[in-house]
Structure 1
Amino acid sequence: MITDMQLVFLILIITTICFLIPRFRADLVAISSLLALLLTGLIDVPEAFAGFSNSVVIMVAALFIVGAGVFQSGLAQKAGDLLVKSTGNSELKLTIFMLALVAVLSGFISNTGTVAILLPIVVSLCRQMQLHPGKLLIPLAFASSMGGALTLIGTAPNLIASQSLHDAGYGALNFFSFTPIGLIMLLGGILYLWFIGRRMLDKPVDNKDGTSGTFDAAELVDQYGITNFIFSVKVPQESSIIGHTIKQLHLPSTYHITVLELIKEGASSLLNLAGRTQSQRITVEPSYVVEAGDTFLIFGEEDAVIKLCNETGMTLYKGEAYQLEDSHLAEVILTPQSRLLNQTIKEVNFREKYGLSVLAMKHQFRPAKKATADEKLLYGDSILVHGKWKDINLLSAEKNDTVVLKSSAEDTDPANTTKKSRIAGVILFFMLLAMVFEWVPAVVAIVVAALLMVFTGCVRQTDQAYHAINWQTVILIACMLPMATALEKTGGVTFMSEGLIQSLGAIGPIAVLAGLYAITSVFSQFISNTATAVLLFPVAILTAEQLGVSPFPMVMAVAFSSSMAFATPVATPPNAMVMAAGKYTFLDFVRVGIPLQLLIGLIAVLLLPFFFPF
């Protein structure tokens, strides 16, 4: 007969395996795990749903809104502009200042959001300085993880660590409890990335990969392999389509082609038109009425374009084709939490939703190809889109779903030219003061700050505040907390704690601390750092109690280790985000990440007993 403890471990093992399978969403796995514990009677209803009233869950949700205010107000963008102004043309300045900036920002707002802001800026700077972006993007992702461990609110495991100690009767951690060791880890990480890690990522600049000094639409079109799908056609006086709207022609359904741009007759040259003003280049609306003399840029198969010309009387331009307008193109990557993942381009309604046409896409480790309506958008994809620069900028604001990596579109976000960024800065500053000096409980300070971000317009609409919350993370935390409860009730925590003590306790508490750090580190490479932390904090506290030592160094070891995940591209959302942009392989993360993992672990094991004595 299986015991309750064995049943909990069975559910935990199945849950962990499901976390490892990319096709299963982590939040749905966590909900299923919660229901399994409830339906088997291992926990009761109040215990099952207690996580949703936990103050950590409330704080994490509110922090996403605070972060949205920082991003939408333009405050984070101003930090990125500071990076541009401070680097000059020095690779050393760019690398060191970038690592320091992303670490500081990640200490106060979402790691993923910070990387989403700085990623296109770093790529653009690399183009200007003739550096391959792959040289800097893994360091960018790693620095965001190290920066998240600097403060209490930098990452969810830190908040859970403080709450776990408070619930166990040891008192909560303060805002800067993590900072001294976190700063030493960050310094060690920066030195490693500059002197060693950067050299492992040294790649030659290839202008065909879009790393030339300025944005060039022709390079991007060539990189995505769609040069042979762009055609110029002219409407002669006798054409049958004159007087019809583009919508009435039903070109996508009839010929499987897309009309991208219109060049009016006033253009002075048929060639080298990239970079001309919008008055000469127009992105075609469905309501546009075709006129004689119009020249269109059409995207599609050559046979389909020839058929169109034969049936409508249009003339296919035989010479060199027009260049697409620079400001009408953008390269976009999908974030790990994007709502567009696992949907086809047709299901997303990309053109209707964003006003943009998807021309081509690149799956991980595969060459680029022309996009089709039934093509699924997958984890790690990058896509090439075409449309108005205003629509491209609107897409770039969707930081939860997409990051516009390369674009020459103008920045028209009005928040960047208003006083909203100052207001957001003041709100963030007073939130931090309230937490540091403990004027009010941390959860109150964060919720008030989130509300002020909405009331002051830093988050432009209430709906956007809800949209800013990463509900996957919130649900994951709320649903995994009962797993820790079930392990404690059935003796599973005691079992794991006794196993650690029996194997390493004879050597001493430092060996046990190192063992906890190593176990957490392995788990965090493959499953959520939040889930890892929730499961192992009770083990850390009970192990310390059984050893008769302070639980603080043990809990801090789990907190730091769960956040410092460098060895795989799926370990953290920032790792996944930079993979496509930097054209990395899985091995790149292994080669650069494992030595950094060992270095940070060594620093933690040596310094934790010094700052938090046993």
Structure 2
Amino acid sequence: MISDMQLVFVILIITTICFLVPRFRADLVAVNALHALLLTGLITVGEAFAGFSNSVVIMVAALFIVGEGVFQSGLAQKAGDLLVKKTGNSELKLTIFMLVLVAVLSGFISNTGTVAILLPIVVSLCRQMQLHPGKLLIPMAFASSMGGALTLIGTAPNLIASQSLHDAGYGALSFFAFTPIGLAMLATGILYLWFVGRKMLDKPIENKTGTTEKFDAEELVEQYGVTNQIFAVKAPPSSDLVGSTIKELRLPSTYQITVLEVIKKEATALTRIIGRLQTQRMTIEPSYVIEADDIFLIYGEETAVKQLVANTGLTLQKGNQQLEEAHLAEVILTPRSRLINQTIQQVNFREKYGLTVLALKHQFSEPRRFNEDETLLYGDSILVHGKWKDINLLSAEKNDTVILKSAAGATDLANQTQKSMVAGIILFVMLLAMVLEWVPAVVAIVVAAVFMVLTGCVRQTDQAYQSINWQTVILIACMLPMATALENTGGVTFLSEGLIQSLGGVGPIAVLAGLYAITSLFSQFISNTATAVLLFPVAILTAEQMGVSPFPMVMAVAFSSSMAFATPVATPPNAMVMAAGKYSFLDFVRVGIPLQILIAIIAILLVPLMFPF
């Protein structure tokens, strides 16, 4: 008959396999694993839901709100503006300053949010300097991971490491406990990425991309292959459509075409004097009433447009008509976007954002005209059209999308930058309270999150809740009971004894290296948080059985879980830059594995020096 320990390992193996399948959400996998442990009687009800009251879970949730305050207040954007000012036209300055800036920001706020803020800025700078974006985006993603290892709050595994040591009776880690080793890793990483990594990623500038400093709508439309699907038609005074609204025509359902813009000539007091009419261009609303001599820019297949012209008396205009630059944007989906695995129709994209999707590009595929029933996938990028105000509102939703290219002007959201000083003060006081240990870390972070809302740095309470990445919160809360089940059934002891028997004879450094290697392997394919939760108890018990300090073992697992470079699915920043940099899976392998090995050597050498056995 199967023992309780064997049953736990069966559930763990199935859970790990499910984590590896992209189709399954990590949080749902963790919830089902929790249910399996509870229903099989391996843990009690209290143990099953203890994770939701764990201080780490509360801190992680509150840190998302703090980070949202930093983003919405404009404080993070100011850091991006600093990047633009300091780099000039030097590739060396751009690369080094970008890597340092990303790392520093990631040490205090979400690395995913940091990359979302800086991604379009770096792409724009690459266009100005005639560099292929792929040369810098993988280094940026890697720097965000290395930066997360600089402080206690930089990444969830660091917080879990501190809590695990505290729960085991060894005391919590200080705020800057990770910093000396983290800085050595960061310096090594920057040198490697400058002298080696960027050369591996050195790609020729595409003929149609990156050659101009100014945003080029014509170039973007051509990249997405919709140039030949934009037509201009005119409504003559004799047309039966004059006086009708756009909604009444039902063009999308009848002809599968979309009206995007109208060009019309209006008379003003000045134009009446000089005898010339003023041209006005605007995006189309369903309620727009067609007037004589209006010129419409429509999107559709040529045969459908010709049929429309034949049936309605509209006249087809000669020559290529260009869409207004401020009405276009290229958008990529974040790895944890709520739009993933849904169709354009299901998310009501037009109604929700006020934007029209013109074309869609799946990963490793050519762009094509979108289909409302087509599912949005991980790594997709889309070309959208609409008012510049709506484009900027979409750009504010950093959890779901990142505006990669746009000529849209600043909206009223820019006025929130006056809150940046307030957000900076709140963040500074929070860090000071944690460093000087005035209050427990969880109290400092929760209070900071509340003040971000009360001072308006996070504009609405609903936005504070929306900013929390519940997938991460649920994942941690549901995986903590897995560690409890392993401890209760002797699974942690089994793993620890196996590690000691295989490597213990060589010495504690060999065991530390083994733990680092195991953690590194798992973190390439499954969540670094889940990996850390499972292996911290093993690290602590292994150290206790060997009669050495658990601190170096725990630190090795913490660093290793954060340093995941070899696959695009290892971290959200890796996944986020994949579409923007037009990378292949092999690009991450070629650049990431040597860096993975270098960082491992640094960790194995320095951790025992800073945290003696």
Equivalent residue number for residue 573 of structure 2: 574
Shift of 1:213: 2.2
Report the counterpart of residue 604 of structure 1 in structure 2. 603
Question: 1:190 maps to what in 2?
Answer: 190
For 1:299-310, what aligned pairs fall within 5 Å after superposition?
Answer: 299-310=299-310
What are the within-5 Å matches in structure 2 for residues 144-543 of structure 1?
144-210=144-210, 212-265=212-265, 280-317=280-317, 319-416=318-415, 418-543=417-542
The CA RMSD measured in Å over matched residues stands at 1.1
Aligned partners of 2:600, 2:488: CA distance in 1, in Å? 31
After TM superposition, give the deviation of residue 210 of structure 1 in Å. Answer: 5.0
After superposition, give the CA deviation of every residue in 1:64-115 in whole Å (9 maximum; x if it has no partner): 0000000000000000000000000000000000000000000000000000
> How high is the TM-score relative to the length of structure 1?
0.97
Give the deviation of 1:489 after TM superposition.
Answer: 0.4
**CA deviations over 1:186-208 (Å, ceiling 9, x no partner):** 00000000000000000111142
1:400 Cα deviation after fit: 0.3
Distance 1:329 1:415, change over 3 A: closer
Q: 1:509-528: CA deviations, max 9, x gaps?
A: 00000000000000000000
| Residue identity matched to 1:53 | S
SS for the counterpart of 1:280 is strand
Is the 2:73–2:420 Cα contact (8 Å) retained in structure 1? yes
Identical residues among aligned pairs (%):
82
CA contact (8 A) 2:72 2:416 kept: no
Deviation, 1:413, is: 4.0
Q: Distance in 2 between matches of 1:248 and 1:209?
A: 40
Q: C-alpha distance in 1, partners of 2:325/2:266?
A: 19
Contact 1:132 1:211 in 2 (8 A): no
Measured against aligned partners, the alpha-carbon deviations of 1:96-136 in whole angstroms (never above 9, x if no partner) come to 00000000000000000000000000000000000000000
Amino acid at match of 1:59: M
Offset at 1:419? Answer: 2.2
2:34 aligned partner: 34
Q: 1:417 to 1:18 in 2, by over 3 A?
A: closer
Contact 1:231 1:299 in 2 (8 A): yes
Farther-moved stretch of structure 1 (416-425 vs 8-17) = 416-425
Corresponding residue for residue 275 of structure 2: none
Residue 442 to residue 580, structure 1, CA distance change in 2 (3 Å):
same
* CA-to-aligned-CA distance 1:464-488 (integer Å, 9 cap, x gap): 0000000000000000000000000
What is the CA–CA distance in structure 2 between the aligned matches of 1:476 and 1:140, rounded to whole Å?
A: 26
CA deviation after TM superposition for structure 1 residue 414, in Å:
3.4
The answer for the alignment partner of 2:272 in structure 1 is none
The aligned amino acid for 1:463 is D
**Is this contact kept in 2: 1:393–1:413, CA < 8 A?**
no
**Cα distance in 2 between the residues matched to 1:558 and 1:120:** 33
Equivalent residues of 1:415, 1:421 under 8 A apart:
no
CA distance in 1, matches of 2:358, 2:417: 35
Corresponding position of 1:24: 24
Once the two structures are TM-superposed, the CA of residue 229 in structure 1 deviates from its matched residue by: 1.1
Alpha-carbon distance in structure 1 between the residues aligned to 2:89 and 2:211: 15
Q: After superposition, what is the alpha-carbon deviation per residue over 1:243-283, rounded to whole angstroms, capped at 9, x for unaligned?
A: 0111111111111111111111369xxxxxxxxxx972200
Are 2:73 and 1:73 aligned? yes
**Does the CA-based 8 Å contact 1:72-1:415 persist in structure 2?**
no
Equivalent AA in structure 1 for residue 423 of structure 2:
A
Q: Is the 8 A contact 1:231 1:297 kept in 2?
A: yes
In the alignment, is residue 109 of structure 1 matched against residue 109 of structure 2? yes
Give the secondary structure class of the aligned counterpart of 1:263. strand
Give the counterpart letter for 1:248 in structure 2: E
SS of residue matched to 1:80: helix
Per-residue CA deviation, residues 145-199 of structure 1 (Å, 9 max, x unaligned), is: 0000000000000000000000000000010000000000000000000000000
Distance 1:417 1:65, change over 3 A: closer
Query: How many residues are aligned here?
Result: 603
* Structure 1: gaps (5+ residues): 268-277
What is the DSSP-based 3-state SS (H/G/I as helix, E as strand, rest coil) of the residue aligned with 1:482? helix
Cα distance in 1 for residues equivalent to 2:52 and 2:209: 46
- Following TM superposition, by how much is the alpha carbon of 1:361 offset from its aligned partner in structure 2, in angstroms? 0.9
Distance (whole Å) between structure 2 residues aligned to residue 67 and residue 175 of structure 1: 17
Partner of 1:272: none
How far apart, CA to CA, are the structure 1 residues paired with 2:608 and 2:99? Answer: 27
Structure 2: distance between partners of 1:584 and 1:445: 40
Code of the aligned partner of 1:334: L
Helix, strand or coil at the partner of 1:29: helix
